[in-house]
Chain A
């Protein structure tokens, strides 16, 4: 079993839809959680990070963490074609040697 599981998609939605992207994890030591956006043939770009359970909002993006279920989500409201990319979750913990464990990414396509 992988430490971090993420549905690879592809996920196709119409413009304006609410998108839900998810990851599950097995290591209860993970303390902080990140979402990266990666456009085709580019490097990952940090979108958001959270340190605890609960919600964090930034514009159209909301990150949600449920440590009891070992489940994290990224919601995108009013999705745009420019949101079409691969979304990677990543997680780490203090004392983890400054390393992150990544999911494989979910490919999202927002269609006009």
Chain B
């Protein structure tokens, strides 16, 4: 089945220790997104790639970076995690339609704990 895969599902890191979260997709979608979701809150878009074009949200801290080495993979790097970065990180993909409904499909998420 075509899907969005995230690894690891659970990640524990120490305050200030860099961490990388991984996302892969078999949907062959053009767009890949990274969201941060805290308890009882809406997913917050951090950034997205349309093919190789990187689109950063204005309020995303510099501490968060992303890489998309190819169509299938996208990584979220947190350079110096703080306690406030503990959250569920969601990867999503979409076809990138410029007209009509561009539905997003989510992975299972990575729950990040910062000690």
Contact = CB atoms under 8 A, between A and B. Distances in A.
Contacts of A4: 42
A8 B40 contact: yes
Interface in B64-115: 88, 90, 94, 96-109, 111
Contact of B42 (A45, A51, A102): A102
Interface in B30-71: 31, 40-43, 45, 48, 50, 55
Contacts of A104: 40-42
Highest count of chain A CB atoms <10 Å: which of B88, B97, B102: B102
B101 A51 contact: yes
Given A97-B55, A98-B94, A105 B42 contact: yes
Report the interface size class on chain A: 20 to 34
Contacts of B97: 98
> Interface centre among A42, A95, A100, by most B CB within 10 Å?
A100
B55 A44 contact: no
Contacts, number: 62
Contact of B106 (A41, A43, A98, A103): A43
19 contacts: A4-B42, A32-B101, A41-B88, A43-B90, A44-B43, A44-B90, A44-B106, A46-B103, A46-B104, A46-B105, A49-B101, A94-B98, A95-B98, A98-B48, A98-B97, A99-B48, A104-B40, A104-B41, A104-B42
Given A49-B103, A88-B42, A104-B40, 5 more contacts: A32-B100, A34-B101, A98-B97, A100-B104, A105-B40
Interface of B: 4, 6, 31, 40-43, 45, 48, 50, 55, 88, 90, 94, 96-109, 111
Cβ-closest 10 pairs across A and B: A43-B106, A102-B42, A32-B101, A43-B109, A43-B108, A104-B42, A44-B106, A98-B102, A43-B107, A94-B99
